[in-house]
Chain A
Amino acid sequence: MATDSPDAPASRDRAVDSATAEGAPGVPHPAFAAYADEPVPQAPVGAPGKDGVLELRFSAAADGTALVSDYATVPFHVSGTLGHDPHPDAETVFVQSPTGGVAQGDRHDVTVAVGPEAVAHVSTGSSTKVQSMDRNYARAETTLSVGAGGHLDYVPEPTILHADARYCRETSLHLAPGATAVLSEVVVPGRLARGERFDFERYFSRVTAESADGRLLEDTAHLAPADGDPTAPGVLGEFAVFGTTFVVAPDRDTAAMSDALHGVVAPGDARAGATELPNGAGVAVRALGDRAETVRATFHDAWNHARQALLDAPAPSGRKY
């Protein structure tokens, strides 16, 4: 097996990284520096199939939103758009994967660009499984942008962290004036049905959002169960599954939306609450539960409400099969 190129990120990757991890170029967070030196015994970092690229570009057209360009390399696959959105102008893409999930040494790069006045919904067809690892780590960088007056729903299915997984993801959102977005992230800390729970090694996820006026928010989830108990009081407590839905809408009445969303999510089966985002950027909904389904259902309710408030149309049904 070729192991001569343990970690060869693209130069662009390196430029982005150097801003966040002093002294360790090519590494998104210092905690991942030691992993980065470990050669991957199978296909090395950067080999075909390891550097997955996905680019989706949506534009507003006379008869609604169109997917004007798409580019996908393994492990991403796009088989066209779906026309089931209750919003008349919205376009939907479910990103598929022909692989068993995210493996050690994977470096994924996702770009979704929504043009002015366009409405797009991007999700995945099934959960993302982050496989067990004993070398290196896996990383996903997602860059989302929404043009003036446009809207993006980026609501992938849950991420499942298998035993010994090391996963780092960074999601950045840029909004033009009048643009809005809903971002959702649900994390399942193991294959719960087989008793695997918090056996992953490290999970790091940072979400940032900015508008033309600058940084709106940055939220980081960082769990390494060996270094700190995720079930400590106030962290996850008695719950296992956790997640956040961000309704980013800096030009809207976010205080009212926060109260309304709290009213929607608080009575559900998940333990959930809504609060106004910093800088009047919108609303964050945090939810904790015992199973992915309860958190997912709570977020679907929140998304449905946010969609009605922002677009005057409900969310599409959560069913994908």
Chain B
Amino acid sequence: MSDDGTLEAFRLADSFLPVGTYTVSYGLEQFVQDGRVEDAGDLEALLATYLRRQLGPADLVVVRAAHAAARAGDADAIIEADRRLTAATMAAEFRESAEQSGDRLLSLQRELRDDELLDAYAAGVETGAAPGNFPAVLGVAAGLAGVEERTACLLCCHGFVTGLLGAAQRLLSLGHTEAQRVLDDLRPVMVEAVEDSAGRSLDALSPFAPLVDVLAAEHERAERRLFVS
């Protein structure tokens, strides 16, 4: 990978990237509210479920498909991957969150780079032909910048976990060192999720975490909430 690609990977993985990560908790807020996540151990176990049951069998498959489509200059294939993720995501709040972050990243990338493929994909998002999910946009951004596919998947896991650790620090009393320890401990699970996504076609998307879906449905109707999901 070129130095430029590596620096782009650092930029895309950084919590400094303005994509609204601080507004989403992907159900974590409700798990805390319900007393299911009370400490770093509970948090780590739940994040492992997200990696194994949501990222590996769904998000990362779409990152890979969008990355490959971007490398091939195929806007239609990007849109197809993007749409498949929406069709496979049952929790309405998760679709909203993924579209919101995806929209911000897509706008940002278009401010920074002139690229016909990015324009064609953005036109699809504007007309509603593509939902603009974050994993699809991330795959495209990484593919165009020469970030390798596997690195793009790893940075997607890293970004997801750091985002939720940030949310957890606002929801629980979780120290910085504890948060770093959870991030460190989850490394093998991130690698496992990346391995799981390898070689899967879009026909094999299979996110499955029904209790997360139930709590996300409760979160939709929660009276007081800090996060949009």
Residues on A facing B (Cβ under 8 Å)? 19-20, 22, 29-30, 206, 215-223, 228, 232-237, 239, 242, 244, 258-259, 262, 266, 271-279, 284, 286-288
A237 CA to B84 CA in the complex, in Å? 27
A259–B221 contact, CB under 8 A? yes
Residues of A within 8 A of B207 (CB): 220
- Cβ of B214 within 8 Å of any chain A Cβ, yes or no, is yes
- Bound together, the chains give a CA A232 to CA B130 distance in angstroms of 33
Q: For residue B84, which residues in chain A have a CB less than 8 angstroms away from its CB? A: 215, 218
What is the interface of chain B mostly: helix, strand, loop, or mixed? helix
A222 touching B208 by the CB < 8 A rule?
yes
Contact (A220, B208) CB under 8 Å given A275-B217, A286-B214? yes
Nearest B-chain residue to A23, judged by Cβ: B199
Question: Out of A29, A276, A279, A288, which one reaches B210, CB within 8 Å?
Answer: A288
Given A278-B86, A286-B90, decide whether A237 and B211 contact each other with a Cβ distance below 8 A: yes
CB < 8 Å neighbour of B214 from A222, A233, A273:
A273
Is B187's beta carbon under 8 Å from chain A? no
Distance to closest chain B CB from A40 (angstroms): 26
Q: Which of A30, A235, A258 has the most CB of B within 10 A?
A: A235
Report how far A19 CA is from B52 CA in the complex, Å: 25
Q: Scoring B residues 159 to 178 as 1 if CB is less than 8 Å from chain A, else 0, what string do you get?
A: 00000000000000000000
From the candidates A19, A20, A215, A233, name the one contacting B42 in the complex (CB within 8 A). A233
Query: Closest 9 A-B residue pairs measured CB to CB?
Result: A273-B217, A220-B206, A234-B49, A273-B214, A234-B212, A276-B92, A275-B217, A275-B92, A20-B203
Considering the chains assembled together, what is the distance between the CA atoms of A217 and B176 in angstroms? 40
Q: Is the pair B86, A279 in contact by a Cβ cutoff of 8 Å?
A: yes
0 or 1 for each of B187-229: is its CB under 8 Å from A? (1 = yes): 0000000000000010111111111111111101100000000
Q: How far is A29 from B221 in the complex, measured between Cα atoms in Å?
A: 37
Most buried by B among A19, A221, A237, A258: A237
Query: Knowing A262-B217, A279-B86 touch, does A233 contact B36 (C-beta < 8 A)?
Result: yes
| A63–B168 alpha-carbon span in the complex (Å) | 60
Any chain A CB within 8 A of the CB of B62? no
Task: Report Cα–Cα, A180/B192, bound state, in Å.
Answer: 40
Residues on the A chain within 8 Å of B48, using CB: 232
Instruction: Check A219 against B90 for contact (C-beta < 8 Å).
Output: yes
Question: CA A176 – CA B9 in complex, angstroms?
Answer: 45
Instruction: Indicate if the CB atoms of B31 and A29 lie closer than 8 Å.
Output: no
Q: How far is B216's CA from A286's CA once the two chains are assembled, in angstroms?
A: 11
Beyond the given pairs A220-B205, A239-B211, 12 more chain A to chain B contacts, judged by CB atoms under 8 angstroms and listed by A's residue number, are A19-B203, A220-B207, A232-B52, A233-B36, A234-B53, A262-B221, A273-B215, A274-B217, A278-B86, A278-B87, A286-B213, A286-B217
User: Is A234 a contact partner of B211 (Cβ separation < 8 A)?
Assistant: yes
A64 CB to nearest B CB, Å: 34
A259 CA / B52 CA spacing, docked (Å): 29
A222 to B204, CA, bound (A): 11
Q: Which residues of A contact B86 (CB under 8 A)?
A: 278-279
Q: How far is the CA of A215 from the CA of B86 in the complex (A)?
A: 10
Interfacial chain B residues near A218, Cβ < 8 Å:
84, 87-88, 205
Contact flag A233-B211 (CB < 8 Å), given A217-B87, A218-B87, A273-B217: yes
Given that A222-B208, A259-B221 are known contacts, is A275 also in contact with B87, CB under 8 Å in the complex? no
**Which residues of chain A come closer than 8 Å to B78, judged between CB atoms?**
none
Given contacts A20-B203, A218-B205, A275-B91, contact A266 B218 (CB under 8 A): yes
Name the distance in Å between B103's Cβ and chain A's nearest Cβ.
Answer: 17
- Can you name 12 A-B pairs with beta carbons within 8 Å? A20-B204, A206-B206, A218-B87, A233-B45, A234-B50, A242-B210, A258-B92, A273-B218, A275-B91, A278-B89, A286-B214, A287-B214
Contact B213 A279, beta carbon cutoff 8 Å:
no
Instruction: Assess A284 versus B211: contact at CB under 8 Å? Given A232-B48, A262-B221, A274-B217.
Output: no
CB proximity of A104 to chain B, nearest CB, Å: 23
B95 interfacial contact with A, CB 8 Å: yes
A266 — nearest CB in chain B belongs to which residue? B218
A277 CB contacts on chain B under 8 angstroms:
90
8 Å CB contacts to A: which residues of B6-50?
27, 31, 36-37, 42, 45-46, 48-50
Q: Which residue of B lies closest to A223 (CB)?
A: B208
Instruction: Pick the residue among B42, B209, B221 that contacts A235 (CB under 8 A).
Output: B209
Known A-B contacts A232-B48, A234-B50, A286-B90; the reply to A278 vs B210 at CB < 8 A is no
Residues in chain B near residue A232, CB distance under 8 A: 45, 48-49, 52-53
B83 within 8 A of A: yes
Contacts of A235 in B (CB 8 A): 49, 53, 208-212
Contact of A29 among B204, B215, B217 (CB under 8 A): B204
